[in-house]
Amino acid sequence: MDIEIFDSAALATDKLSELLVERVQAKKDLKMGLATGRTMDAVYHKFVTKLSEKKVSCINILGLAIDEYIGLAVNDENSYKHYLNFHLYEHLDFVKSNLLVPDVHAEDLDEAALKFEKVVEDIGGVDIQLLGIGTNGHIGFNEPGSAHDSQSRVVGLTSSTLASNKSMFGNNEVPKTAITMGIGTILKAKECILIATGESKASIIQKLVNGDISSKVPASALKLHKNTKIILDREAAKLI
Ligand code: GLP
């Protein structure tokens, strides 16, 4: 794992957004695995700004949501589909139909998860997989205990994840289930980049960086991937 530490969250998100622009410049039809969450807000904002400044076309960028909540209404603003449209696919010349999200409104959710796994395969795999990390080590919604070869599937969310994500739901309940790409799905990407900023991530980053590969820390599976970069700010890196 290649680890880069920046003095501030702003510098860390600058770096990641710049790197993403370079990847799009090198491959116009880049296939991006897209994480969500508060850390990604600034990354996507800066990515869109830089794409615009450099007049890079987004018309062929394919995005695959890494996960999606089950049980929200189609137009719910807390859905990750809404998040990714709001931050990326409603901007510039991004094409909304190029954003692929697991079909959490299907009657058979297990089948919908299998179909999503097949979509990842059919497009020829993800070029660059963006990842945040939960304070319990989850990537996507692969909670502790997820197998390293797990595929896209329906999962239950832990109480720690429900508590962490509550601030985004106001008075509404955080859904307790989701469809997520599996860890095995994530590891098939050609390149993985995980970003973590802020003190609240310091303890899990310490376990990830200094600990062994273990399903107790799902993100540690990234150590099995030959092309993984971890981007941190000083706060998130302070215990390593
Ligand atoms: C959610 C997402 C994850 C993301 C995590 C971190 O649980 N499913 O993909 O990595 O949040 O979010 P934040 O950046 O808000 O800490």
For ligand 1, whether the C-beta of 105 sits within 6 Å is: no
CA 102 → CA 34, 65, 95, distances in Å?
12, 7, 18
Q: Which of 45, 70, 133, 233 to mutate to test the pocket of ligand 1 (most atoms within 8 A of CB)?
A: 133
Percentage of the chain beyond pLDDT 90 is: 98
| pTM for this predicted structure | 0.97
Gyration radius of the chain over CA positions: 17
Q: How many angstroms is it from 139 CA to the middle of ligand 1? A: 7
Nearest to 76 by CA among 177, 176, 175, 179: 175
170 band by pLDDT with thresholds 50, 70 and 90 = confident
pLDDT of residue 151: 98
Nearest CA to ligand 1 atom 12: 37
Residue 172 above 90 pLDDT?
no
CA 67 to ligand 1: nearest atom: 8
One-letter amino acid identity for 33? G
How far is residue 159's CA from residue 156's CA, in Å, rounded to a whole number? Answer: 10
For ligand 1, whether the C-beta of 67 sits within 6 Å is: yes
Q: How many angstroms is it from 101 CA to the middle of ligand 1? A: 16
Angle between helices 38-53 and 9-26 (to 10 degrees): 50
Two tokens at 112?
């919908």
CA dihedral in degrees (158, 70, 195, 10; nearest 10)? -110
Residue 177 above 90 pLDDT?
yes
Instruction: Please state the rounded mean pLDDT for residues 144-171.
Output: 95
Nearest to 36 by CA among 178, 150, 235: 178
pLDDT of residue 171: 83
pLDDT of residue 16: 98
One-letter amino acid identity for 66? I
How far is residue 147's CA from residue 143's CA, in Å, rounded to a whole number? Answer: 10
Q: Is 67 a residue of the active site?
A: yes
CA 198 to ligand 1: nearest atom: 16
Q: Is 149 a residue of the active site?
A: no
Per-residue pLDDT tens over the stretch 88-118: 999 999 999 999 999 999 999 999 999 999 9
| Helical segments of the chain, H only | 9-26, 38-53, 80-84, 109-122, 159-165, 183-187, 202-210
* Residue 117 contacts residue 100 (beta carbons within 8 Å): no
Q: How many angstroms is it from 37 CA to the middle of ligand 1? A: 4
Nearest CA to ligand 1 atom 3: 140
User: What region does 232 belong to: left with phi over 0, alpha with psi -120 to 50, or beta?
Assistant: beta
